[in-house]
Homo-oligomer: A and B are copies of this chain.
Amino acid sequence: MYEPSTSSEKSSEDQQRISDRGGALEAKLGHYLALTYSERDALRWLERRERTFEAGSIVIREGEETALLHIVASGWLHGSKQLPDGGRQILRFYFLGDLTSTFSIAWNVSAATLTAVSDCTLFELPRDALGRLFRDHPRLGGLLYAVSAAEQVAMAERLTSVGRTDALTRVSTLLLDIRAQLRVVDGENGSVFELPLTLQDLGDAVGLTNTHVSRTLKNLEERGLVERDGRIIRIVDVDELTRLVDYHDRLTHVATDWLP
């Protein structure tokens, strides 16, 4: 059913010189903090083993033994948990510069399944490379800690949405969330974006069935809050929707004044 694809060798426009991809993590962390030359260098050293995965393929499966972390160099992924009854919960999405350490740093097996949503390129690094980074660049360690905390708050926000709000709010916050993350990657592309997710995926992210996500999106369209054209989503009025569902962006700004 699912085929973990290894190193696909497509010669499309995706094919670039490897060095062009470097600096994903550096770019993300540099967004929060002015990095020194040696810090930049250390971050680039993490990005040497590159690997590509095609859309739909699984990078690591929940419960699978692994000593590797990944940095997203291009594309889009999600982390999910499987339930005994066949259900699935999508926990979060990963974009350019994200470090997928959360689910594999604290154990020798992965605590979640990592799936490529679009074709994507990842840098693989051994766990202890991160240990060395903490040792040699404690300020980066602290920054990683802060970013991890911000991501945890983002997940807390999703938990709140899933636990205590109705379908319309849940789907809306997810759309706003994805848009906010994509905006960092793609720059200021406003309120239109491609959503390469099935209704099943969306439902698994917000705790609804695909059928009900369908109805909810229809509802959002009828209210004039969202427009759809195939996989293209347009949020008609971002500010209005943000207010309506009380959405909070937790990832754009992170305090770093407490770092040494």
Residue numbers of A with Cβ under 8 A of B are: 67, 79, 81, 83-84, 87-89, 91, 101-103, 105-108, 111-112, 126-128, 130-132, 134-136, 138-139, 141-142, 144-153, 155-160, 162-165, 204, 206-207, 246, 250, 253-255, 257-260
Contact = CB atoms under 8 A, between A and B. Distances in A.
Contacts of A257: 128
A87 to B, nearest CB: 4
B164 A207 contact: yes
Contact of A206 (B134, B163, B207): B163
Nearest to A101: B149
A111 B163 contact: no
Contact of A135 (B67, B136, B139): B139
Nearest to A163: B207
B152 A148 contact: yes
Copies of this chain assembled into the complex: 2
A157 B106 contact: no
A165 B254 CA distance: 33
Contacts of A126: 258
Given A102-B149, A141-B142, A259-B134, A107 B253 contact: yes
